[in-house]
Structure 1
Amino acid sequence: MTRIVLAAIAALSLTACTTATGTGGSFQPIPGSITYGGQPRTKLTKAPIGSTFGHTFYDSRGRQVDETYRIQPDRSLVIVNRVTRIDYL
């Protein structure tokens, strides 16, 4: 019985995270994304091209969103991963 309960909790925990993909393997910016409304005005001049960094914010529904960005050769940013976490508690 305990194993069934633990398995159900584990399955529920895994379904609490969702990942969405946009067209062409890239993601479309959503409100809260660094690139929402266009590229940032400041360029990341010291960061190596191809390096990645993360950004965490909450969407309009109160869900935590974790995005990963990659720096392109022209110093623009592209979203390469997005995970939306839904809190069931």
Structure 2
Amino acid sequence: MKYAFAAMLLLVAGCSTTTADQPIPGSLTYGGKVIHSPYKPGTVIKHTFLGDFGLRQFERYVVQPDGTLKLVSRIESEDFLWN
């Protein structure tokens, strides 16, 4: 049981959650871009890209009533391959 807890702790330590106040380079709405979605309001849209230093960025957007996207969360994690 203690090994499972240690493994979970290491997994969580590899990821970090950042506040999604501002878009970063690579975000769908970076630089003031306005994207109108064809999906209905409240739909969650996921976006993944490589950020600085090879860190994988996982973003979630919510479609607003006017069709624009609002960035609501971003999670940053290492990007590596399991061999």
Q: TM-score, normalised by structure 1?
A: 0.75
- Determine which structure has the larger strand proportion and give its number: 2
- List structure 1 runs of 4+ shifted beyond 2 angstroms: 3-10, 86-89
1:59 aligned residue = 51
Distance change >3 Å, CA 54–CA 63, structure 1 → 2? same
The structural deviation recorded for 1:5 is 5.1
Gaps of 5+ in 2: none
Give percent identity, aligned residues only.
37
**Stretch moving more, 9-18 or 51-60:** 9-18
Task: Flag structure 1 segments of 5+ consecutive residues without an equivalent.
Answer: none
State yes or no: 1:48 paired with 2:44: no
RMSD between superposed Cα atoms in Å? 2.2
Q: In the alignment, which of 22, 30, 37 is matched to residue 36 of structure 1?
A: 30
In the comparison of the two structures, how many residue pairs are matched?
81
Residue in structure 1 matched with residue 7 of structure 2 by the alignment:
9
Does the Cα contact within 8 Å between 2:61 and 2:69 map onto a contact in 1? yes
SS in 2 for 1:85: strand
Q: TM-score, normalised by structure 2?
A: 0.79
1:28-62 per-residue CA deviation (whole Å, 9 max, x = no partner) reads: 1001100001124x522x31012111000010210
